[in-house]
Structure 1
Amino acid sequence: MPEITITPARRGDLPAAADVLAEAFEADPVLAAIVPTPGRRRTRLAHLFHGMLAAGAFTTGTVDLARDGDGSILGVAVWEGPDARHGALGRLVGQAPHFVRALGWRGIPRALSLFSHLERQRPDSPHWYLAEVGVTARARGRGVGGRLLSTHLDALDAMRQSAYLESSTPVNRRLYRRLGFEEVRPITGVPGARPMGMLRHPVTHRA
């Protein structure tokens, strides 16, 4: 089996990374509340993720890519840094063409309202935010998601920094609990979904 490598994305990687996330999140209940059109959801999600990556984690944190031996992208982990909220509006405006293609003008207020609602549930203390992690269908069962997550979580442990995420499904929550995340509270007010906020404090690794 070809070895999987984890590397930070370059700007030119963002369209392909967005396509991987669109495939992975096509049936996600939270994203369905933001992009409700079933027929073209994957295409619209690709535009949405491209805008979000460029305005968020690529600028303020890291977009980690899992690559196969041939260089193709198997998975993506999107981490926004602790200071990502500062200047976020200006960065989002800069990616407006992607958001209009994804949501239409009428859908933008709905998406902003939902994202603002999720943001208000986040801890007040400094933390890295796992915005998304997704893998392609052909990579499932190969441990790609776990590799992506553990790579950055190990770095956060070394920096003594916390991590936070919202999990949409019980299956995903089991994975996150194995990685040290603890359930904080269920998040209400998301149409068709009840995500769980989860927080992970840094772990001290013993030799």
Structure 2
Amino acid sequence: MIVITTARPDEFAAAADVLAEAFVDDPVARGIVPFEADRRRRLAHLFTAVLRSGPGPRGVIDLARREGDERIVGVAAWEAPGSRRGALGRELAQLPLFLKAFGPAGLPRAMMMEHRLQRHRPTVPHWYLADIGVSVSARGLGVGSALLRARLDAVDQAGLPAYLESSTPENRRLYARFGFGELASIAGIPGASPVAMLRSSPPDPGGLG
């Protein structure tokens, strides 16, 4: 059984390690952090900064564990409607970690690619799945589905849509089972072709698996 809890600040570093492991070979992550030798270490810095600054006071970071095991095996970071208010100040506070992730020369490139991703977000209030990842040891156990199901139930109760970007066909198939539909391909990410996906509210019951 997979148990879902909300992350505490003292769990952010461990959660970032899980995301770094999950994204080390992800096409978008490779485009944003194009350092082969130490990409996982840099991604750990990046996700620590993102978890500290990104979701904001109204967002949420969900953690997945196997029942009876304290080790984190999955992470989903969600931004609630309005979470971006005050984001710049939170991100500036994490600038040292962003620099460790990208290097001084790579920071402008990363900011440009992040802008290309963000400009596809809906203009209406919505929940945004910023990041979701599962540790290698727990893949195939339904961890990603458990994380999605737990938060989407709350999103449905609020009567709001949900949005994400997906970088692989395999992940898009999973999201489609939860009612996400493809909106558009996102250009400008080296070596990657992420797709913007939206889940309407209420979702079409025929799209749920």
Could you say which TM-score interval applies, normalised by the shorter chain?
A: over 0.9
Work out the percentage of aligned pairs sharing the same amino acid. Answer: 54
Task: Tell me if the contact between 2:160 and 2:202 (Cα under 8 Å) persists in the aligned partners.
Answer: no
Q: Which runs of 5+ in 1 are unaligned?
A: none
Distance 2:54 2:33 in 1: 19
Q: Which one of 30, 35, 39 corresponds to residue 37 of structure 2?
A: 39
Distance 2:151 2:15 in 1: 17
TM-score by length of 1: 0.95
**Matched letter for residue 6 of structure 2:** P
Distance 2:84 2:9 in 1: 21
| RMSD of aligned residue pairs (Cα, Å) | 1.4
Task: Tell me if the contact between 2:20 and 2:41 (Cα under 8 Å) persists in the aligned partners.
Answer: yes
Q: How does 1:187-202 map to 2 (within 5 A)?
A: 187-202=186-201
Equivalent in the alignment of 2:176? 177
**2:57 is paired with a residue of what secondary structure?**
helix
**1:189 is paired with a residue of what secondary structure?**
coil
Equivalent in the alignment of 1:113? 112
Task: Tell me if the contact between 2:116 and 2:187 (Cα under 8 Å) persists in the aligned partners.
Answer: no
Deviation at 1:204, TM superposition (A): 6.8
Task: Tell me if the contact between 2:56 and 2:83 (Cα under 8 Å) persists in the aligned partners.
Answer: no
Equivalent in the alignment of 1:50? 48
**Matched letter for residue 101 of structure 2:** A
Aligned length: 204
**Matched letter for residue 71 of structure 2:** S
TM-score by length of 2: 0.94
Deviation at 1:58, TM superposition (A): 5.3
Q: Which runs of 5+ in 2 are unaligned?
A: none
The ranges of structure 1 where at least 4 consecutive aligned residues each deviate by more than 2 angstroms after the TM superposition are 202-206
Q: How does 1:92-131 map to 2 (within 5 A)?
A: 92-131=91-130
Distance 1:93 1:113 in 2: 16
Deviation at 1:33, TM superposition (A): 1.0
Q: Could you tell which deviates more after superposition, 140-149 or 102-111?
A: 102-111
Q: How does 1:63-78 map to 2 (within 5 A)?
A: 63-68=61-66, 69-78=68-77
Task: Tell me if the contact between 2:179 and 2:204 (Cα under 8 Å) persists in the aligned partners.
Answer: no
